Amino acid sequence: MRPPHADPAATPAPTSWQVGDVRVHRVDETALPPETGAWLLPAATPDVVAEVPWLRPDFTAPDGAPLLASHTFAFEAGGLRVLVDTGIGNGKSRANPAWDHLDTDYLTRLTAAGFPPDSVDLVVLTHLHTDHVGWNTRAAGGGSWIPTFPNARYIASHTEWDHWAARAEGMEESRRQMFRDSVHPVRDAGLLDLVDVHDGPVDLAPGLRLLPTPGHTPGHVAVELRAAGGAAVITGDCVHHPVQLAHPAITSCVDTDPAQAVRTRRALLASLAGTGTLLLGTHFPPPTAGRVTADGDGFRLVPAS
Ligand SMILES: [Zn+2]
């Protein structure tokens, strides 16, 4: 049965967007249960969410919890076939039940979007969290994991690598497991490039930049795409959910530096407001993408058609 808010005449939300002369594809992995949003963004209570009418119905559960999704973005720019983040991955042992031993058709969808794994040149990791590095590798039998994208360079910020490396000794087992099965095999295959990202943007290729966006993690980067006639920014986790446009001070429970995360989010949103740059949310459920406008003390996402 159709949910009561659905308009039978409405066209389905797009799964790809034209950014100038570049087509950006969202490659779906899985929707996340409403409990994930309530856990991740504890200040985004149903009351707070209810005060932001433009979040309904797409970005909230019927009980008012913020809805999140796991997907990645793929596009061809600057002569490179690029994938931004790699989701949760299949078959991984994870503490979070929503992420444990997933079995999705993600690679089939990536291939159907025109990006078979062997064809990917560049994998950009916004940060080294479990739900962003999972498809870095796939199972190769016997408990071993091999790079899913054998012809790609995998990119992460040096700061991010150093942060986790410095904590390797005392790291909880679930995070050690993530590095063992999803990060170290890429490094051991010689495919990982660490990029110095400090105060300003770093160009990876013509039209493709890393934007330092620390706070969720110390070396977090967003990804900026500039094409002939358009521009887009992929959030990673510097914005988890559109409620953080209306309320940039809402932080996630796993931010390493919540105050810095708020400063980063405000600055990024202010830089985008009114520019026409497409904001693509790494965890925003459909419609996923939109333009940022100023709205009172905060901002608003105007979904892209
Ligand atoms: Zn995430």
Domain boundaries, the chain: 16-303
> Is pLDDT of 213 > 90?
yes
- pLDDT number for residue 10: 57
Distances (CA, A) of 41 to 31, 85, 107, 202, 216: 16, 21, 29, 30, 12
Distance from residue 237's CA to the centre of ligand 1 (Å): 5
Distance from residue 9's CA to the centre of ligand 1 (Å): 33
- pLDDT number for residue 212: 98
Distance from residue 1's CA to the centre of ligand 1 (Å): 31
Distances (CA, A) of 245 to 121, 129, 213, 234, 267: 32, 22, 15, 14, 11
Distance from residue 271's CA to the centre of ligand 1 (Å): 22
**Considering just the CA atoms, what is the radius of gyration of the chain in Å?**
18
Distance from residue 18's CA to the centre of ligand 1 (Å): 24
- pLDDT number for residue 2: 38
- pLDDT number for residue 273: 98
- pLDDT number for residue 3: 41
- Per-residue pLDDT tens over the stretch 220-265: 999 999 999 999 999 999 999 999 999 999 999 999 999 999 999 9
- pLDDT number for residue 72: 98
- pLDDT number for residue 1: 35
Distance from residue 236's CA to the centre of ligand 1 (Å): 7
- Per-residue pLDDT tens over the stretch 79-91: 999 999 999 999 9
Distance from residue 128's CA to the centre of ligand 1 (Å): 9
Distance from residue 178's CA to the centre of ligand 1 (Å): 14
3-state secondary structure (DSSP) of residue 163: helix
Distance from residue 283's CA to the centre of ligand 1 (Å): 7
Distance from residue 47's CA to the centre of ligand 1 (Å): 24
- Per-residue pLDDT tens over the stretch 8-28: 445 677 899 999 999 999 999
Find the mean pLDDT for residues 272-300: 97
Residues, CB-to-ion distance under 5 Å, ligand 1: 131, 237
Distance from residue 295's CA to the centre of ligand 1 (Å): 26
| Lookup result for tokens 């930049």 | 209
> Exposure of 68 by Cβ count < 10 A (0-12 exposed, 13-18 middle, 19+ buried)?
buried
- pLDDT number for residue 6: 44
> Is pLDDT of 283 > 70?
yes
CATH class of the structural domain 16-303:
alpha beta
- pLDDT number for residue 46: 95
Distance from residue 124's CA to the centre of ligand 1 (Å): 14
Cα–Cα distance, 99 to 36 (Å, whole number) = 11
Distance from residue 280's CA to the centre of ligand 1 (Å): 14
Distance from residue 132's CA to the centre of ligand 1 (Å): 6
- Per-residue pLDDT tens over the stretch 92-114: 999 999 999 999 999 999 999 99
Find the mean pLDDT for residues 191-216: 96
Distance from residue 21's CA to the centre of ligand 1 (Å): 28
Find the mean pLDDT for residues 176-190: 97
- pLDDT number for residue 12: 72
Distance from residue 129's CA to the centre of ligand 1 (Å): 7
- Per-residue pLDDT tens over the stretch 112-143: 999 999 999 999 999 999 999 999 999 999 99
